[in-house]
Amino acid sequence: MREKIIIGLALFAGALLAWNMNTIFTALPDELNQGAIYRIIYFHVPANILGMLGFGAGMLLSVGYLTTKDLRYDALAASVTEVALVFASIGLATGSIWARIIWGVWWAWDVRLTSWLVCWLIFGGYLMLRRAVEEPNQRARFAAVVSVLGTVNAYISYKSIEWWNTQHPQPVLSLRNGGGMAPGMEAPIYWNLLALACFAAILVMVRVRQEAFAREIDTLRRMVHAQ
């Protein structure tokens, strides 16, 4: 059943992505001030939204683990956070490429960029911490605490473009009262978000299964050692 869902999702996401590519690269015109490079927004924004939502979801799942002590929540939290970190990396990389063309530098130390890099480091630390703790319950507890504290920083990063005058553009999506984008240009962002979200879901499903196997192997090893 899981296989079928994964294949179905992959087919849907692949088709949607192909259709989005067609819209983004052939149907839409160049942006007036930025030229062709503005198209990177169709990956930059969805990837970062998924990164942020993933860190947030990881936090909720971590709280779920802490209240229920059910290791499946922990496995799901770890998987979601790991996938979110991948999307945050894509977001950072695409942003950096855009900055090179528009600002002339790969990186600027404004609040948005810095706080998002800090988040990336924190959740990188989260994954390293998971490898450093042997005992599953202890690992889940420690990871959950880091996830909750790290999400505070993710929220600071989310709000930073409203709280401070950043070099990073202010909100552009109409969802955040940004505005400034023509509806025809804004819509593909959401379609690409959907496509990438499907890919993220696939990755999480694969990763969760790995966690389940790892837990099973760990249990078997403990049984062997106990003999």
Which of 96, 79, 91 has the alpha carbon at shortest distance from 209? 79
Q: Does 23 bind another protein (CB under 8 A)?
A: no
Q: How far is the CB of 51 from another protein (least distance, A)?
A: 16
State the greatest distance between any 2 C-alpha atoms of the chain, in Å, as a whole number.
72
User: Please, which residue, 137 or 170, has the CB nearer to another protein?
Assistant: 137
Rule CB under 8 A: choose which of 5, 15, 18, 121 binds another protein. 121
* Identified binder of another protein from the candidate list 25, 30, 70, 138, rule CB under 8 A: 138
Q: Min. distance of Cβ 66 from another protein in angstroms?
A: 6
Q: How far is the CB of 22 from another protein (least distance, A)?
A: 40
Q: How many residues belong to the site for another protein (CB under 8 A)? A: 25
Length of the chain: 227
CB of 87 to another protein, least distance (A): 18
For the segment 148-177, give every residue that binds another protein (CB under 8 A): 148-150, 152-153, 156
- Residue 105 or residue 152: which is nearer to another protein going by CB? 152
Q: How far is the CB of 158 from another protein (least distance, A)?
A: 13
Least Cβ distance, residue 154 to another protein (angstroms): 11
Dump the DSSP string for 147-203.
Answer: HHHHHHHHHHHHHHHHHS--SSPPP-SGGGT---S-HHHHHHHHHHHHHHHHHHHHH
DSSP 55-82: HHHHHHHHHHHHHH--HHHHHHHHHHHH
Instruction: Report in angstroms how near the CB of residue 125 gets to another protein at its nearest.
Output: 5
Q: Is 155 exposed, middle or buried (0-12, 13-18, 19+ CB in 10 A)?
A: middle
Query: Do 113 and 168 touch, CB atoms closer than 8 A?
Result: yes
According to CB under 8 A, which one of 60, 86, 102, 129 is a site residue for another protein?
129
Of residues 58 through 97, those in contact with another protein by CB under 8 A are 66
Q: What's the number of CA atoms in the CB half-sphere (13 Å) around residue 188?
A: 24
Residue labelled with tokens 């990837």: 47
| Residue indicated by tokens 């002590």 | 69
When the beta carbons of 39 and 168 are compared against another protein, the nearer one is: 168
Check residue 114 for interaction with another protein (CB under 8 A).
Answer: yes
89, 155 in Cβ contact below 8 A?
Answer: no
Residues in contact with another protein by CB under 8 A are 66, 114-115, 118, 121-122, 125, 128-129, 132-134, 137-138, 141-142, 144-146, 148-150, 152-153, 156
